[in-house]
Amino acid sequence: MAGVLIHVQHLLGIGHLQRAVAIAVALREAGARVVLASGGVPVPQVEERATRHAVEIVRLPEARSADVHFSRILNADARPIDDAWKARRRDMLLGLLAATEPDAIVTEMYPFGRRPFRFELTPLLEAARAMARPPAIASSVRDVLIANHKPGRAEDIAATVRQLYDLVLVHGDARLISFEASFPAAAQIADRIRYTGYVTEAKAVAQSADRSAGEVLVSAGGGAVGLPLLSAAVAARRHARERSRPWRVITGTNLPESDVAALARAAAGDPGIVLERFRSDFAALLARCRVSVSQGGYNTVLETVASRTPAVIVPFAEGQESEQTDRVRLLAAKGLLRFLPQAELTPERLAAEIDRAATMTPPAIEIDLGGAARSAALILEKIAERQ
């Protein structure tokens, strides 16, 4: 039985962890044993799926971002990480490598992102390369990267890939968004790149469902940076023609309790607004709602496009974040959704966009949604090739 070690580090949202878990489960279903080393805040609603499929989760000392600018990395006690903390994480990963002797290692986002964690990932990968039977090494990366304008950065990443990696698994569909659009040095590692299709539980539909009785569904992914959108949506209801139908607002588990309480106060007295923390059946809600209002994270956007749901997307764009805006702008140009820049977000503008979206019938497109299974197959093929 092939063994795979996956490293994942989420800092704000939960999309990184969701993709890593989906691939881990696909590997298990293909017969591999999988260890998932997770360094972020625990997300029981996501991790439960991994444990249900006998994926072993190893918790690294917890890290999260201090703010949306990723100005500092904090530990579980909300203190900046120090050299001793880094050494514990590095040694724990090296010990895990020695104990599991994996046939493959997968790093989620690195080296295309997560550069602050080079202190543990570079030693891990160099130790793996020095093993008597070196494992295959793959990078798991989403379809669109955050824009980085530092001279030479893309070339440095490509050099790291050529030195240490066998595969770059791009979780997208080149017919929809090309990796070159956000990574200019893609040609330098073209022999390593494999498009896997999107890693999502969504299934493409041939025609739009009857949404005449559907609700307005508002969501913000994990919720860590969702308060501006959620607040605007609660206030937008009274301005919208669609106010006659129910509005469901899902805050996400990472929205602070004080913010949830503020939203509840704002929605008080309006029986048409349902406020919830989390829904495990989100994809089903999305597939039958009248209009979806959300941020532009990977998972939500792809589920929206796949289900042909009329949608208003307000991509998170604070700090250096460009990934959501770039993805949403490309998809809006294809007529698949409505794009409202975060800088232009007001209750009145959002209400108008919701009313426009309610008249949409998004076109059917060909899109590869089998990314988890395809990723697992490519990893296992590379293991077999090396053996």
* pLDDT at 50 exceeding the cut of 70: yes
Q: What is the pLDDT of residues 206-262, one digit of tens each?
A: 666 789 899 999 999 888 889 999 999 999 999 999 999 999 999 998 899 999 999
pLDDT of residue 174: 94
Pair of tokens at residue 224: 């860590």
- pLDDT at residue 201, rounded to an integer: 78
Q: Tokens representing 14? A: 């939960």
Q: Average the pLDDT over 188-213 and give the result.
A: 86
String of b and e for 152-184 (b: at least 16 CB within 10 Å)? eebeebbebbeebbbbbbbbbbeebbbbebbbe
pLDDT of 326-380, one tens digit each? Answer: 999 999 999 999 999 999 999 999 999 999 999 999 998 888 999 999 999 999 9
pLDDT at 280 over 90: no
Please give the pLDDT value at position 223. 82
Q: 338 - beta bridge partners?
A: 312
Max intra-chain CA distance, the chain: 67
CB 29 within 8 A of CB 1: no
Report d(CA 237, CA 50) in Å as an integer: 38
Give the total residue count for the chain.
387
Give pTM, 2 decimals: 0.87
pLDDT of 384 higher than 70: yes
Which pLDDT belongs to residue 206?
A: 64
As a whole number of angstroms, the distance between CA 101 and CA 174 comes to: 34
